[in-house]
Amino acid sequence: MKRNFTQTSLGNPKRRLEKVDCARCVVRDRLLFAGLDVETDRLVLSPIDHYHFEPGATIYHQGQQAPAVYSIRNGSVKLSLYSSASGDRIVRLLGTGSAIGLEALIEQDYQHSAVTIGPTNLCRIPVSTLHQLGKRQPELYQRLMAQWQEQSLLADNHHVYLTQGPVQKRVINLLCILESLLSDQFATFYLPSNQDCASLLATSEESVSRAMAALKRQGFLRKASAHNWSLC
């Protein structure tokens, strides 16, 4: 379903960073180009841009034209689906190594809205670049399809873990998922709002708040800094 959208002003939620050398990327083995010969295709890869997004920044909207795929270098992103009957519903949580906007390979518009949970770095890869590289290295398409399938299975598993059982157990599962989304160099994670957690867990914000408070008292969830949390 297409949705009319307006760009929300968040100050400067996105900034372009220096170009990344794909051949020397420290997380390349977890990204789309893992196993590909990027040394010989540097010119083809030159249109790729590297961006930093602040927490809560919109990367793209559902129904927006889809000219690019994004690969998450570090951080976490929520994908939501809008319907006139139920509003926005979070359907996926993705982190380091995942690709978002893969539908751009076969569709003209994005199927979801993508919003960062915490500070997130992404590579913006034009669809034209992927098609050009795919002609030179056909194994890229296999990698893209495998990534798509893996993320679909992960979303199904998350749905089971987050919607079944006692609320506190579901909250613990959510916290473990959030921790797992980040790259190995990060020990802390951002907490989504209680509203987002309630949407993911199919429960009320009050139930989420009580469960979070209990986990903090028990020492399971520890505040590491102003916005960062860790599991103990």
pLDDT digits (tens, 9 = 90+) for 100-125: 999 999 999 999 999 999 999 999 99
Task: Give ranges for CATH 1.10.10.10 in the chain.
Answer: 164-231
Residue (of 161, 166, 168) closest to 213 by Cα position: 168
Task: Give ranges for CATH 2.60.120.10 in the chain.
Answer: 14-144
**Hey, what are 178's tokens?**
């959030």
State the pLDDT at residue 40. Answer: 62
> If you average pLDDT over residues 145-174, what whole number do you get?
92
Dihedral angle, C-alpha 77, 20, 63, 196, nearest 10 °: 10
CA angle 66-9-82, nearest 5°?
50
Asked whether 140 and 133 are in contact (CB, 8 A), the reply is yes
If one looks up domain 14-144 in CATH, what number appears? 2.60.120.10
**How large a percentage of the chain has pLDDT more than 70?**
81
Residue (of 133, 146, 79, 141) closest to 110 by Cα position: 79
Distance CA 222, CA 32 (A): 33
pTM of the full structure: 0.85
Tell me how crowded residue 153 is: count the other CB atoms within 10 A of its CB.
10
State the pLDDT at residue 5. Answer: 42
CATH class of 164-231: mainly alpha
